[in-house]
Amino acid sequence: MTSAGAGAPVRAHEEALVGERARAVLALEDGTVFEGWSCGARGEACGEAVFNTSLCGYQEVLTDPSYAGQIVTMTMPHIGNYGINGADMESRGSFAQGFVVRQMSRITSSWRSESSVTEFLVSQGVVAIEGVDTRKLTRLLREKGAMRSVISTLDLDPASLVAKAQASPGLVGRDLVREVAVTRSFEWGSEDPTGCLPIDTGVLPVVPAYRVVAFDSGIKFNILRRLSEAGCAVTVVPPTTTASEVLELGCDGVFLANGPGDPEAVDYLYSTVGDLLGVVPVFGICLGHQMVSLAVGAETFKLRFGHRGGNQPVMNLLTGQVEITSQNHGFCVDFASIGPLDVERSGGLGLDPADIAAWVRAGVAPVVTSEAHGAVQLTHVNLNDMTVEGVRAIERRAFSVQYHPESAPGPHDSRYLFDAFRALMDGREDYLSVSDPRFASARGRGVRGEQQA
């Protein structure tokens, strides 16, 4: 058995690599090159260059399987201060292709620290670079969008690395879910098929109130902890599990997790979701939200630079409440593509369903009609760029959000959604009215539109 801890001790020959300040180069497909120093494993890695604005939580970022295929830049200039510890792992290891920082701390100052970030990166084989002007890099990615890139400590020739970046695969059309998911089912609280047993499983229910099947498309440990603490016994299944196999498990609800890559490439999963809608309650997060949306007929598109960080404002259109959320996604749902507007269920307004800002200004949660699954409502909106952050299939007992209510790392404003899932499994129609007590005064305001609960 292996433990999902902070990584194996650094071997003797690797200790020498950590101690030396080897040169490293980051090259982008547009020809931009950044020189710096290695602060991780030696080698070369290609991936999509993205940035994350979180001030802390770098370990959770590195161990989030959703970052598979990506080279992550932290905008916080000083990384590594509190080290790495086994309890903060979000999966069995690191899935990021590479890591970019302004300055990596050589000192760890925390009683919980078990290793430095550099030691962890070396143990996980993650190529990393420090000494980069991350402000310049972030501005570049905001202006031009996420780009293919390469980090190398082996090849330091700028022209060669730019050519490698240009020749590397992007994320559009790529199914990375199969690369990060388990291949056999397991019960949360026991070893997974790789032999990994998390140090912290959260509070496991002695007598579960619900049995939930969770599809692993890159699921984070804290999602499973939150489901468990909500009274659910959770069976984690591979993403290729069929609807009939799920129903044979006798579950009260189905959960769809986060994950990497292009959602439209994961057709086998959203096809299964389509078979489950209306049969069993469904809750989706991040990629799971995209799976629900694709199942009801939506299209998805790639954002220019995505949402990654712990400070994204999202409005719940059903309550008027604004949540500060943790996010990590590069693709988005096109709500208007689901079907025609249901004017009567949309507060009697005939606004363009694609003009999300207009619906926010009107205080209405619009409803469109899916040919296969009936009424679908826009429930949550990102207030920074007016993109879709949540939907629900009203007649199919299903809802989903684009962001991460499990908050690892990030604010806890959205943890009420796990209680909403409980309420949905209990058969309540007003399940999305379940909210954090701190916002109780906002619950009664409501807005116009279908089932404004």
Catalytic residue numbers? 286, 404, 406
Provide the β-strand partners of residue 376: 368, 393
CB 138 within 8 A of CB 29: no
- From CA 191, how far away is CA 439, in angstroms rounded? 38
Q: Write out the DSSP string of 335-379.
A: GGGG--B-TGGGTT----TT-HHHHHHHTB--EEEETTTEEEEEE
Strands (E), 10-61: 23-28, 33-38, 44-52
> Tokens at residue 215, please?
């599809």
- From CA 422, how far away is CA 418, in angstroms rounded? 7
**Considering only CA atoms, which of 223, 389, 213 is closest in space to residue 316?**
389
Query: Which phi and psi angles does 258 have, rounded to 5°?
Result: -70, 170
Sign of the torsion angle spanned by Cα atoms 348, 351, 354, 356:
negative
**Considering only CA atoms, which of 134, 142, 144, 148 is closest in space to residue 97?**
148
Distance of CA 152 to the CA centre of its chain: 27
Report the b/e string of 209-221 with b at 16+ CB within 10 A.
ebebbbbbbbbbb
Q: Could you tell me which residues come within 8 angstroms of residue 280 by beta carbon, excluding any fewer than 6 positions away? A: 246, 247, 251, 252, 253, 254, 397
CB 356 within 8 A of CB 382: no
CB 146 within 8 A of CB 50: yes
Distance of CA 37 to the CA centre of its chain: 29
Q: Is 139 helix (H, G, I), strand (E, B) or coil?
A: helix
- From CA 452, how far away is CA 433, in angstroms rounded? 9
CB 68 within 8 A of CB 80: no
Query: Which phi and psi angles does 44 have, rounded to 5°?
Result: -145, 135
Q: Is 265 helix (H, G, I), strand (E, B) or coil?
A: helix
> Tokens at residue 428, please?
């309540």
